[in-house]
Amino acid sequence: MNIYAVILLLVSLQVATAQVLPPEKICKGPPITFTKPNFADWSDPANQDAISPSVTLTRADHWPLLNVALGQTPRDVQNPSGVSFAVGSTTDTNLVFQSFTRAHQGWIGEMFTTNYGTDVTNVMVMYLQAEDLYVDLTFQSWSKGRDGGGFSYTRSTCCQLGGCGSAMSGDPHVMSWSGEWFDYHGQCDLKLMHVPNFQGKDDLDVHVRTTGRYLYSYIETVAVRIGSETMEVSSWGEYSINGVENAMIKSQGSTALRKSIAISQIGGYPIFHMQTNPKTHRFDIMITGSSNITMSILKDIVSVRVHNPTKADFGNVVGLSGDFTGRLLARDGVTDLSGDINALGQEWQVRDDEPMLFQAVRAPQYPAKCILPGMTKKEARRLGEGIAEEDAKVACDHLRDDAHAFANCIYDVTATNDLDQAMSGAF
């Protein structure tokens, strides 16, 4: 065999063995940071990170990681059970999964001292064996020896286990049901979600109306319909229920700031209203005690989010934000449009044979297409740059743990030229 043949063989072996993780098994939900302080009580749930039904991690004062969900206690542990680890991230190929100690090779304790080797990484993937899911993990600290067993990491959350929900906010950012964000800037009426026979009864629909101003676009109105009843929420907290405007808030004094109170219902689901400062309103339609549809309004920009949905309630959802497993599909339920967000948005424009949930008709209406901004967001942002990126970063600091939310926030603050927007979409 000549040298070229050997190279060819090596190249083809490389290609043949490159293992990628199955996308549907990767946890991509909003990241959280977990910290167990030194000498904190390992048996207290406050000092444990509940990741999935089978995995809850913590550490005692000077022992390795342990999985209390599988009944481990500090003394019987070399490694956490039910999980394995690989150095790298879920986008890498050929990850090697092993026990925690084998994966970090003893380096973890040295990692956060000043003189660790440059070949050491604090980025790992954790595999949840029982759930068959992969979590991205970045260690922030790890106390060695008898320093108290403290540790901290930022990790992705698993929308596959339920509860992430879906959202649309800002200069429109959409969060799919698997927790991934994408932007759609078309201006029109959009079917964000549709659930047939919601809770065994009538259909649930959430429509959003996007509009443009200067160089950005945003949600101006959200309409939620359950069965034959409709609630519409728009800029500055204006709302109507079945066409009656601001009924409850007016009668109770619209200027009074207050905590969450029940104001009405649609389709038998209670609606709570909350106002904590003059610029923000929030309406929650309670699905169950723990699950709700929140519409929050900051000045004239409206956001909507489904909190803690169960598969039983939202398993059949379709719409612009995709299906419950996170796929972004066309109306045929088959065509994957995740690679073409403009086509996805156009696909889910409200059609003329579908109920019009908004009271006022506004152009464009199907078959007239959604209006796409003429310039790219990058160009628009450069032109609109009144607020320095550094100032935007400071205003968005509360979102720093979540790279995507942080980026969205900076984007919105600079596009709208309004530092207050750092609080929009903070549900």
Which residues are at the interface with ligand NAG (CB under 6 A)? 260, 272, 284, 292, 294, 307-308
Shortest gap between Cβ of 289 and ligand NAG (angstroms)?
A: 8
> Would you list the DSSP string of 193-261?
EEETTGGGSS-EEEEEEEEEETTEEEEEEEEEEETTEEEEEEGGGEEEETTEESHHHHHT-TT--EEEE
- Burial of 279 (C-beta count, 10 Å sphere; 0-12/13-18/19+): middle
Shortest gap between Cβ of 270 and ligand NAG (angstroms)?
A: 8
Do 37 and 140 touch, CB atoms closer than 8 A? no
Shortest gap between Cβ of 397 and ligand NAG (angstroms)?
A: 21
Of the pair 86, 295, the CB lying nearest ligand NAG is at: 295
Of the pair 34, 269, the CB lying nearest ligand NAG is at: 269
Of the pair 137, 271, the CB lying nearest ligand NAG is at: 271
How far apart are alpha carbons 270 and 112 in whole angstroms?
50
Ranges of beta strands (E only) in 65-150 are: 65-67, 83-87, 123-128, 133-142
| Of 336, 319, 290, nearest in space to 24 by CA | 336
Of the pair 163, 373, the CB lying nearest ligand NAG is at: 163
The 3-state DSSP class for residue 4 equals helix
Of the pair 286, 371, the CB lying nearest ligand NAG is at: 286
Shortest gap between Cβ of 272 and ligand NAG (angstroms)?
A: 4
Shortest gap between Cβ of 200 and ligand NAG (angstroms)?
A: 22
Shortest gap between Cβ of 173 and ligand NAG (angstroms)?
A: 19
Helix (H), strand (E) counts: the chain: 9, 23
Shortest gap between Cβ of 284 and ligand NAG (angstroms)?
A: 4
Of the pair 112, 272, the CB lying nearest ligand NAG is at: 272
Question: What six digits make up the tokens of 110?
Answer: 């040295």
Of the pair 286, 407, the CB lying nearest ligand NAG is at: 286
How far apart are alpha carbons 160 and 163 in whole angstroms?
8
Do 134 and 126 touch, CB atoms closer than 8 A? yes
**CA max distance for the chain:** 89
